[in-house]
Amino acid sequence: MLIIPAIDIKEGKCVRLTRGDFAQKKIYLDNPSDMAVIWRKQNAKMLHVVDLDAALTGEMVNFEKIREIVGILDIPIQVGGGIRSAEAVRKYLEIGVSRVVIGSAAVTNPGLVAELLKKYRPSQIVVGIDAENGVPKIKGWTESSDMKDYELALEMKKLGVERVIYTDITRDGMLQGIGYETTRAFAEKAGMKVTASGGVSSSEDLHKLRSLEKFGVDSVIIGKALYECNFPCQELWYAYEQGLGIDGEFSTARKKECFPQA
């Protein structure tokens, strides 16, 4: 199962939210590119980058920050957040983004998804379904769809979409465990490739998710659990963090959390 670290960008900084609540924001690093370097040095094979400002406004607010990340890394970058036009998709793919995640537009403008799949490969166009109690939420999770999560997935499947990023909003950023039952129910009904997201808190969650591989769940996006140093192997990584060339508040705080005796 592919593990994909997440980098959420708001006002140019690397942050994490709790259940998508912009009022519950924690800044981890001022420069998202530094965060990208850390995850790459810790052997990430792909990154999931979200423009949180764009998710609310539909404007590519942090485009230059994302361009910078793509330019310095040698791994695929998957980008989401407020991508609601063919022009936005074109701009991201032109700077080297590997996958573009269509979220709200899959609900409000499914014709856009159909248009994109005529021009780009299915591997480049991914649909993000962020659901609360089985109902997709859109526009920065501020509005609800009038269909079920799996119904939206099946509509996208008809258009040629092959992969969905499925987020259980009730779990996102809570560090209380993955929404295993909701993810399983969704994957079974959708019958697509699924990247799970939201709530991963420990390696136990990853072991549970592996049992869903037979339903198409082949990857997982992890955010806060990585930032809060919840995995034992991170102790070793941070012990050698000096070699990453990253200094500052994140570096110092993470070392103290992993090595309180230091």
Of 34, 130, 149, 172, which one is the catalytic site residue?
130
Helix, coil or strand: residue 143: strand
Backbone angles phi, psi at 31, to 5 degrees: -115, 110
Q: Quote the CA–CA distance of 146 and 127 in Å, as a whole number.
A: 17
Give residues with Cβ within 8 angstroms of 231, minimum separation 6: 202, 203, 225
**What pairs with residue 126 in β-bridges?**
101
Note if 34 is an active site residue: no
Q: What are the tokens at 166?
A: 């499925």
Of 8, 51, 149, 205, which one is the catalytic site residue?
8
Please name the amino acid found at residue 239: A
Given the structure tokens 């990430």, which residue do they identify? 44
Note if 172 is an active site residue: no
Q: What are the tokens at 131?
A: 């659901």
Rg (alpha carbons) of the chain, rounded to whole number: 17
Give the residue numbers marked as catalytic: 8, 130
